[in-house]
């Protein structure tokens, strides 16, 4: 008797081979047992069966591949459509999910990133994302010394510095850090050392740590960089270390870390909140425990400093989560859209496979009747489906690589992540697996059906069945529904961006060049050298041919969105108003011609002018909302108010500007003449941005302006050179990217739905040609036949559009925070989406309907 083990071993062979040769092999095995004994025969059998079974499988695969190539060459349309559909689905999904996963799921490149948190001022009871204010030095010190949840707490402040001495002077983004910050992040430098909290405070005051990128670009990767001196803002600093290339903090563009030195007087004002707090939780402390401790600590502080903290709390979140909720909604909505597309891809693949199945049943029935076993047929179909899926997946990977850079713009720049999200092979695998399962599952249908019957039954039976037809209709309706959802989604976003763009910024952007000359501290800390610089630059720029007006300002609207200060009217209690939001105004120093350069209208009084100097009365120009807020029923001109310890007189009223961007409400604005600024003005308010309005192409002025600045100060770099129009356009760059992506997905969805509808109807016509032929032969009008088909298409469209609209409405409500006031039920968008869907259906069914109406009854009947 053949041992069970050998029979089990033989199962490694394909069933067809087994049926032919198992008996012979078993007999040979029995003889082998006689010759070599049981064990010897068993060992020999293992060595014999495994390689030979593999070889037999391989030979069949090669055969099937040859057959597949032949059969797909015949049905080229089917092959191309299937590959295209798979590629689109797999590509779009891989790219979208890789981007979203990168921003939402990937751990930061620090050891134990979940223990890293950001701490800032929030509102009592709302402790999640969203800083109301950053920390004041005093509050930072309190958190660092009086709480127990943290292993270490540090503070940082982002700045820019002028790096001179190596080639052209350049402006580079840098971050001031307390000595705790780099050690608590946990990434050691590749060269030298980082700042060290255990050293005395003054040791590292003139030390810097540089990023790998800066080390390579500015210092050529100099191996002996540690100990070298560089000039930053005119002050020498010693390089003590270089961070590895993967280290990004707080954002990827920062390549330089300098010591944050807090002088004693910095701790006086608790309202001056400019330090960003970062901490590492103690190993034994959970996120929730730390949150509870901070909440209790906030109550303590309120009692201790009733004037400074009222209704106060900490905002506390993981470093990982430092992105606005809107970014999350954007990313999740793209994921949703992408999933829709995957669903569509699968529906379409299923449909294509079903159509092909019906087409091939006869061919397979013939082969079954000629003796091909079920296993052979199934394998054959499997190979074909697999070839299509593999081709589609490869094309999909290429498509993903093309789409990914576009999506990369959606990664929030607030996260310390490398700039470009890499494609994630896991998501590729997942999308490809979905496509493969659908393709394979439906690809096997014909073989299963045929093999389940006796050969003649399959041959006799006609093609397809009404149940399958209904399944295909349901699939097409699903495709229409998904298209509606994506169309409505992108339509609403387009309406929203249109609305955003309708918001008047309050100034005019055409032909205004902006650039920054950030004057370094301490050289320009006092007024005299600063004013001298402006005196040497401004008149000469204004004298350039084509220049209409030129002015300096502390910061451009929509770029400098902070810089808010408190306002007091004479006689008011300063302490009571200290943290009152309704008393806040944006605070800027501007030179004369600023309002002219930006075309901000002067409503009352006068512009600031260059004779408003320190020796003269201190004046201010305020915005209309400022005047309304403080003197609702009186003439604001000549009124006085107090800010930052100085009393100012209003001499002019100008139009309001959207300082915080088109989509946010801005505080009232106040402008002071630059020549009335004082020594030790904070870096935020020092005039540094030059705006130049010109009658010709403003960019042609750049070389001349560069020369003027160099002549005023050879060490002074120019940076942030942009047209003001681009500054405003940058406001909606995420929105535009999102619309492009969602729009592209919607277009794809429509295309797929169109293919689906066309495929189904073309197939119906091919299948019913005999019936249609009989109808026509019996005198039916061709137009009636065509209408019948169009009716089918409209039914399918309606079946999809109605549920699609309902889901779209739900989705729109979920993303209403991005809609900028466009209602989620916006009738125009919904109407447009259904019209577009109907048009797609119309295009999809045009050819099949025409064909049906033009069937020649005689040919159709003869074919049977």
Of the pair 38, 228, the CB lying nearest another protein is at 38
Least spacing, CB of residue 25 vs another protein, in Å: 5
Q: CB 9 → another protein: shortest distance, Å?
A: 10
Nearer to another protein, 44 or 842 (CB): 44
What's the distance, Cα to Cα, between the start and end of the chain in Å? 55
Nearer to another protein, 58 or 850 (CB): 58
Nearest to another protein of 10, 135 (CB atom): 10
21 binds another protein (CB under 8 A): yes
Choice between 56 and 596, CB closer to another protein? 56
Which residues, numbered 50-79, are part of the site for another protein (CB under 8 A)?
A: 51-53, 55-56, 59
* Per-residue x/- track, 117-136, another protein (CB under 8 A): --------------------
Task: Locate the DSSP E strands across 765-850.
Answer: none
Give residues with Cβ within 8 angstroms of 266, minimum separation 6.
Answer: 137, 272
Helices (H) and strands (E) in the chain, counts: 23, 21
Binder among 2, 3, 15, 48 for another protein (CB under 8 A): 48
Nearer to another protein, 63 or 625 (CB): 63
Output Rg (C-alpha) for the chain, integer angstroms: 36
- Cβ proximity to another protein, 47 vs 545, nearer residue: 47
Q: Which stretch binds another protein (CB under 8 A): 24-32, 181-189, 334-342, 841-849?
A: 24-32
Of the listed pieces 18-26, 314-322, 458-466, 790-798, which binds another protein according to CB under 8 A? 18-26
Q: How far is the CB of 14 from another protein (least distance, A)?
A: 10
Q: How many residues bind another protein (CB under 8 A)?
A: 21
Considering the complex, what minimum distance in angstroms separates the CB of residue 362 from another protein?
25
Q: Rounded to whole angstroms, how far apart are CA atoms 625 and 301?
A: 34
Contact flag: residue 2 with another protein (CB under 8 A): no
Closest CB to another protein among 36 and 770? 36
CB of 33 to another protein, least distance (A): 12
3-class DSSP assignment, residue 235:
strand
With respect to another protein, which residue has the nearer C-beta, 4 or 862?
4
On the question of a cis peptide bond just before residue 250, with omega within 30 degrees of 0, the verdict is yes
Instruction: Indicate the residue among 383 and 734 with the shorter CB distance to another protein.
Output: 383
* DSSP string over 522-561: TTT-SHHHHHHHHHHHHHHHHTSTTEEEEEEES--TTTS-
Stretch that binds another protein, among 26-34, 270-278, 736-744, 829-837 (CB under 8 A): 26-34
* Bond prior to 353 in cis (omega within 30° of 0): no
- Whether 346 and 439 have beta carbons less than 8 Å apart is answered as no
Min separation Cβ 12 and another protein, Å: 10
Report if residue 419 touches another protein, rule: CB under 8 A: no
Residue among 490, 498, 561, 558 at smallest CA distance from 821:
498
Q: Is 20 in the site for another protein (CB under 8 A)?
A: yes
**Based on CB atoms, which residue is closest to another protein, 29 or 317?**
29
Establish if 23 lies at the interface with another protein (CB under 8 A). yes
Measured CA to CA, the distance from residue 859 to residue 568 in angstroms comes to 93
Angle at the Cα of 328 from the Cα atoms of 327 and 330, rounded to 5 degrees: 65
Among 42, 49, 387, 404, binds another protein (CB under 8 A): 49
Beta bridge partners of 135: 275
Least distance between another protein and beta carbon 843 (Å):
48
155-214 binders of another protein (CB under 8 A): none
Considering beta carbons, is residue 23 or 733 the nearer one to another protein? 23
Nearest to 549 by CA among 539, 559, 558: 539
Which backbone phi and psi does 135 adopt, to 5 degrees? Answer: -100, 150
Nearest distance in Å: CB 37, another protein:
17
624 close to 653: Cβ distance less than 8 angstroms: yes
Cα distance between residue 85 and residue 753, in whole Å: 11
Question: Rounded distance, CA 238 to CA 35, Å?
Answer: 85
Q: Are 517 and 233 in contact (CB under 8 A)?
A: no
- Taking the complex as a whole, the smallest distance from the CB of residue 369 to another protein amounts, in Å, to 19
Angle, helices 137-146 vs 287-304, to 10°: value is 120
By beta-carbon proximity to another protein, the closer residue of 29 and 428 is 29
- Residue 443 phi, psi (nearest 5): -65, -30
* H helix or E strand, kind and range, residue 555: none
Measured from the CB atom, the residue of 62 and 543 that comes closer to another protein is 62
In terms of phi and psi (left: phi > 0; alpha: psi -120 to 50; beta: otherwise), the region of 313 is beta
Count of Cβ atoms closer than 10 Å to residue 105 Cβ: 10
Q: Quote the least distance from Cβ 13 to another protein, whole Å.
A: 9
Q: Could you give the residue ranges of the DSSP H alpha helices within 370-465?
A: 374-408, 425-443, 445-451, 455-460
Among 15, 44, 157, 836, binds another protein (CB under 8 A): 44
Distance in Å, CB of 31 to another protein, minimum: 6
According to DSSP, residue 123 is labeled E
> Is the bond preceding residue 522 a cis peptide, omega within 30 degrees?
yes
CA distance 609 to 430: 65
- Closest approach of another protein to the CB of residue 44, in Å: 7
* φ and ψ of 239, to 5 deg: -75, 125
Beta bridge mates, 313: 122
- Name which position in 28, 684, 725, 802 contacts another protein (CB under 8 A): 28
17 touches another protein by CB under 8 A: yes
Work out which of 5, 11, 31, 43 binds another protein, going by CB under 8 A.
31
Contact yes or no for 114/440 (Cβ under 8 A): no
Is 33 among the residues that bind another protein (CB under 8 A)? no
CB of 114 to another protein, least distance (A): 56
Q: Which is nearer to another protein, 53 or 116 (CB)?
A: 53
Q: Which residues bind another protein (CB under 8 A)?
A: 17, 20-21, 23-25, 27-29, 31-32, 44, 47-49, 51-53, 55-56, 59
């Amino acid at each position: 008797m053949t041992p069970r083990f050998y029979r089990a071993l033989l199962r490694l062979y394909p069933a067809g081979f087994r049926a032919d040769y198992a008996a012979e092999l078993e007999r040979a095995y029995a003889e082998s047992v006689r010759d070599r004994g049981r064990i010897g025969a068993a060992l020999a059998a293992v060595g014999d069966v495994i390689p030979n079974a593999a070889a037999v499988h391989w030979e069949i695969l090669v055969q099937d591949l040859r057959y597949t190539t032949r059969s797909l060459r015949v049905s080229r349309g089917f092959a191309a459509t299937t590959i295209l559909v798979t590629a689109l689905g797999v590509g779009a999904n891989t790219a979208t999910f890789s981007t979203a996963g990168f921003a939402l799921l990937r751990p930061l490149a620090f050891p134990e990133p979940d223990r890293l948190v950001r701490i800032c001022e929030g509102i009592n009871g709302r402790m999640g994302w969203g800083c109301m204010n950053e920390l004041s030095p005093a509050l930072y010190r309190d958190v660092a010394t009086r709480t127990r949840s943290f292993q270490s707490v540090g503070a940082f402040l982002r700045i820019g510095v002028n790096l001179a001495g190596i080639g052209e002077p350049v402006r580079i983004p840098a971050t001031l850090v307390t000595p705790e910050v780099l050690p608590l992040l946990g990434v050691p430098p590749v060269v030298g050392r980082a700042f060290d909290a255990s050293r005395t405070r003054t040791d590292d005051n003139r030390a810097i740590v540089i990023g790998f990128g800066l080390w390579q670009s500015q210092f050529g990767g100099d191996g002996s960089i540690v100990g070298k001196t560089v000039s930053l803002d005119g002050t020498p600093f010693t390089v003590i270390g270089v961070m590895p290339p993967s280290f990004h903090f707080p954002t990827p563009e920062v390549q330089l870390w300098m010591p944050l030195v807090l002088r004693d007087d910095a701790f006086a004002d608790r309202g001056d909140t400019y330090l960003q707090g970062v901490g590492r939780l103690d190993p034994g402390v959970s996120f929730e425990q730390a949150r509870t401790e901070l909440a209790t600590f906030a109550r303590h502080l309120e009692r201790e400093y009733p004037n400074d903290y009222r209704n106060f709390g900490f905002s506390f979140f993981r470093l990982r989560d430092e992105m606005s909720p809107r970014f999350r909604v954007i990313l999740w909505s793209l994921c949703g859209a992408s999933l829709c597309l995957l669903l569509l891809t699968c529906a379409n693949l299923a449909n294509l496979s079903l159509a092909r199945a019906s087409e091939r049943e006869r061919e397979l029935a013939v082969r079954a009747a000629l003796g091909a076993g079920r296993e052979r047929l199934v394998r054959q179909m499997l190979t074909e489906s697999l070839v299509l899926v593999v081709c589609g997946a490869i094309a999909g990977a290429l498509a993903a690589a093309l789409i990914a850079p576009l999506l990369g713009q959606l990664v929030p720049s607030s996260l310390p992540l490398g700039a470009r999200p890499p494609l994630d092979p896991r998501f590729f695998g997942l999308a490809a697996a979905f496509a493969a399962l659908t393709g394979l599952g439906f690809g096997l249908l014909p073989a299963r059906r045929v093999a389940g019957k006796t050969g003649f039954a399959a041959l006799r039976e006609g093609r397809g069945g009404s149940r399958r037809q209904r399944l295909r209709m349901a699939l097409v309706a699903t495709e229409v529904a998904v298209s509606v959802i994506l169309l409505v989604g992108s339509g609403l976003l387009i309406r929203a961006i249109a609305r955003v763009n309708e918001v008047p910024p309050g100034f005019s952007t055409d032909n205004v060049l902006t650039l920054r000359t950030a004057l370094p501290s301490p050289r320009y800390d006092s007024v005299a050298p600063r004013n001298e610089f402006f005196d040497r630059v401004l008149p000469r720029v204004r004298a350039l041919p084509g220049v209409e007006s030129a002015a300096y300002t502390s910061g451009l609207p929509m770029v400098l969105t902070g810089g808010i200060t408190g306002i007091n009217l004479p006689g008011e209690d300063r302490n009571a108003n200290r943290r009152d939001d309704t008393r806040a105004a944006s605070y800027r120093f501007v030179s004369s011609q600023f309002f002219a350069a930006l075309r901000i209208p002067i409503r009352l009084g006068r512009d600031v002018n260059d004779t408003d100097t320190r020796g003269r009365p201190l004046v201010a120009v305020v915005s209309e909302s400022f005047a309304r807020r403080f003197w609702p029923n009186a003439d604001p001109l000549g009124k006085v108010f107090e800010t930052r310890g100085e009393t100012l007189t209003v001499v002019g009223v100008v139009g309001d500007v959207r300082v915080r961007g088109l989509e946010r409400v801005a505080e009232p604005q106040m402008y002071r003449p630059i020549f009335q600024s004082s020594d030790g003005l904070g870096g935020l308010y020092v005039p540094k941005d030059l705006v130049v309005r010109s009658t010709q192409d403003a960019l042609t002025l750049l070389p001349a302006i560069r020369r003027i600045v160099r002549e005023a100060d050879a060490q002074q770099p120019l940076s942030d050179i942009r047209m003001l129009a681009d500054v405003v356009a940058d406001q909606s760059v995420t929105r535009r990217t999102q619309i492009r992506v969602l729009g592209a997905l919607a277009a794809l969805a429509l295309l797929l739905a169109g293919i689906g509808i066309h495929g189904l109807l073309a197939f119906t016509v091919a299948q019913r040609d005999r019936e249609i032929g009989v109808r026509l032969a019996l005198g039916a009008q061709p137009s009636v036949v065509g209408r019948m088909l169009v009716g089918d298409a409209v039914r399918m469209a309606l079946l999809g559009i109605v549920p699609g609209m309902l889901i779209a409405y739900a989705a729109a409500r979920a993303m209403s925070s991005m809609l900028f006031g466009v209602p989620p039920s916006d009738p125009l968008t919904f109407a447009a989406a259904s019209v577009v869907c109907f048009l797609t259906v119309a295009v999809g069914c045009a050819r099949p309907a025409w064909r049906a109406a033009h069937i020649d009854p005689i040919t159709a009947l003869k074919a049977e």
